[in-house]
Structure 1
Amino acid sequence: MTSMDMEPKPAEAVPRLVSALRTIRPRPNAADELTQDLIDLLKQEGLQPGDRIPSVTALAGRFAVAPQTIREALRRLQALGLLDFRHGSGVYVREPLARVIVSNPYTGQLDPDVLLDLIDARLLIEPHLACLAVVRGGPDAIAELERILDLADQSLEGQDETLSDLNLDFHRAIARLSGNKVLGQTMDSLLDLYAAEQMMILQVYDNRERDAREHRAVLTAIRGGRPDLAAEQMREHLTGVRTVVEARLRAH
């Protein structure tokens, strides 16, 4: 990566996007609504700290969704400190639910500094996950990463939401491939809780082709069985994003 590559490129939309950080109010998505519905149900049941909540299967039937969808919503509540997962026992209420509202955690202003904090948090985690993924990177796992990037390439000229989802799917897939369940869940929580910030990072960064190239470089290192290089490529990728985003935010 050259110093020229690190220079922020002009983008007409950046001033408008940065200004929007102070007023944007993202609409709750399906995951937000299910999470709030879960909270409402637990409140209706009168559950208190220490009480066990219904099983995943029971909740999936109640809301007519897949068990995995319920698990993802429960992980979001765990990340908020509201639930306690006890291996072999179940999921328990950890904090009082009476005043909890999580359907749209971004009802106020988006803080530009949080964008940088989010990238910093990912920088601490994802290079290590990429390194671990090399050890477990069998043909099927690598084919899945390739499939995600192929879809992302086809969406380079498409909607921001579609491309953002595919890019994050790539990072989530590497986290799963690492085999570290704790860090994998941490990544899921970060990306779920800060979905609005992730979208804003994509829009402020505004370099889809470079993003695609750097994702391919990470995949190439994983496919080639080079853990140190995979970690380095992931670190350079996230550092480059941070450099550009910070420069553009500070300039406006």
Structure 2
Amino acid sequence: MSQAPQAGGLSDRLVDGLLDLISEGALAPGDSLPTVRELATRFAVTTPTIREALRRLQTTDAVRMRHGSGIYVGDGIHRMLLPNPNSTPLKDEHIVQLVEARLTIEPGIAALAAVNRTVDDVERLARAVDTAKRAPDDNRPKLNFHRELAAASGNQVLFEVVDSLLSARSREQRALRAQIENRVRDYEQHVAIFLAVEAGNAELARRLTEQHLHDLRTTVTDHLGTPE
């Protein structure tokens, strides 16, 4: 019978023990875990206690508990950064800071993507570019261009930074997109960045992404009436 580590509180020890179980078993997202009863026996605790530890892991999507089906490893098991889904709406000056953060980070990401992109990355970027041309009632999966660009960089931490900004701040990101009046230019800039990444031209990808986000910052500051 496995015993949880002795350091820390019981809940912390159980969380660590469950994570060790996933790691030592080389379990991947979608793989199943033992039942609650089996886990309780394994760690010599009651079923309500093991459920509490599982709920903690569920909040970060490290595990997923499906009623009537079982317990599975979640997509969040390998995440290093976690967005805060319960933060309050950003003030105007923070929205500008959000764009400035992206302006600082994403040009370098585009350059890395041009160097590290795979065939699959290029295909997903092409589909992300195509997403912008779809009709509102098109129910095919929609891919976000900037998220796919970050994924193509090959750097998991950078991907999670961008993914966290886009996921946790989806309300603000929608507001930012709504301020883009020149949709044709926005689309053409995405196409140009995509072509630079596809061609492996890191410096061009960096420069085009910087210009793209600089234009977005100008649009936002003009809309909010804040100085650049």
Does the TM-score normalized on the shorter chain lie above 0.5?
yes
| 1:233, distance to aligned residue in structure 2 (A) | 0.5
Tell me the TM-score normalised to structure 1 length: 0.58
Question: Following the alignment from structure 2 to structure 1, what is the Cα–Cα distance between the partners of residues 145 and 73?
Answer: 22
Instruction: Give the percent of matched residue pairs that are identical in Structure 1 and Structure 2.
Output: 28
Give the distance between the partners of 2:100 and 2:74, measured in 1 at CA: 29
Q: Does 1:52 align with 2:52?
A: no
SS in structure 1 at match of 2:132: helix
Structure 1 residue 50: Cα displacement = 10
Q: Deviations over 1:194-245 (max 9, x none)?
A: 1111111111233322221111010011122211000000000000011011
| Rg comparison, structure with higher value | 2
The one of 102, 111, 117 aligned to 2:91: 111
Amino acid at match of 1:116: V
SS in 1 for 2:65: helix
* Aligned-partner residue type, residue 125 of structure 1: I
Structure 2 residue 102 is the aligned partner of structure 1 residue 138: no
Q: What is aligned with 2:46?
A: none
Partner of 1:62: 65
Separation of aligned partners in 2, 1:211 and 1:53: 48
- Which of 239, 247, 252 does residue 214 from structure 2 map onto? 239
Q: 1:204 to 1:46 in 2, by over 3 A?
A: farther
1:214 to 189, 192, 206: 189
Q: What is the distance in 2 between the residues matched to 1:66 and 1:147? A: 30
Distance verdict in 2 for CA 1:115–1:51, change over 3 Å:
same
Contact 1:47/1:53 (8 A) holds in 2: no
| Amino acid aligned to 1:154 | R
1:230 aligned counterpart, secondary structure: helix
- The structure-2 alpha-carbon separation of the partners of 1:235 and 1:49, relative to structure 1 and needing over 3 Å to count, comes to farther
Q: What is the match of residue 129 of structure 1? A: 109
Give matches, 1:151-190, under 5 Å. Answer: 151-155=131-135, 158=136, 166=142, 169-190=144-165
Structure 1 gap segments, 5+ residues each:
1-44, 81-101
| Distance change >3 Å, CA 152–CA 205, structure 1 → 2 | closer
**Matches for 1:33-44 after TM superposition, within 5 Å:** none
Amino acid at match of 1:151: T
Residue 202 of structure 1 aligns to which amino acid in structure 2? R
Determine if the alignment matches structure 1 residue 249 to structure 2 residue 224.
yes
Partner deviation per Cα, 1:97-146 (whole Å, 9 max, x = no partner): xxxxx5x323xx54111211111111111100100111122333212211
Deviation string for 1:11-65 (max 9, x for gaps)? xxxxxxxxxxxxxxxxxxxxxxxxxxxxxxxxxx973599637447555341469
Residue pair 1:130, 1:174 contacting (<8 A) in 2 also: yes
Deviation at 1:166, TM superposition (A): 4.3
Contact 1:75 1:189 in 2 (8 A): no
Q: How well do the aligned residues superpose, as a CA RMSD in angstroms? A: 3.2
Q: Can you give the 5+ residue segments of structure 2 that lack an aligned partner in the other structure?
A: 1-8, 20-28, 34-57
Could you tell me whether the CA contact under 8 Å between 2:65 and 2:72 is conserved in 1?
Answer: no
Q: If the length of structure 2 is used for normalisation, what is the TM-score?
A: 0.64
**Alpha carbons 1:136, 1:179 under 8 Å: kept:** yes
Aligned residue pairs total: 174
- Distance (whole Å) between structure 1 residues aligned to residue 65 and residue 192 of structure 2: 44
Q: Which amino acid letter does the alignment assign opposite residue 105 of structure 1? A: S
Flag the 1:50–1:190 CA change in 2: closer, same or farther, 3 A.
farther
Give the number of the structure with larger relative contact order, counting CA–CA contacts within 8 Å between residues 6 or more apart: 1
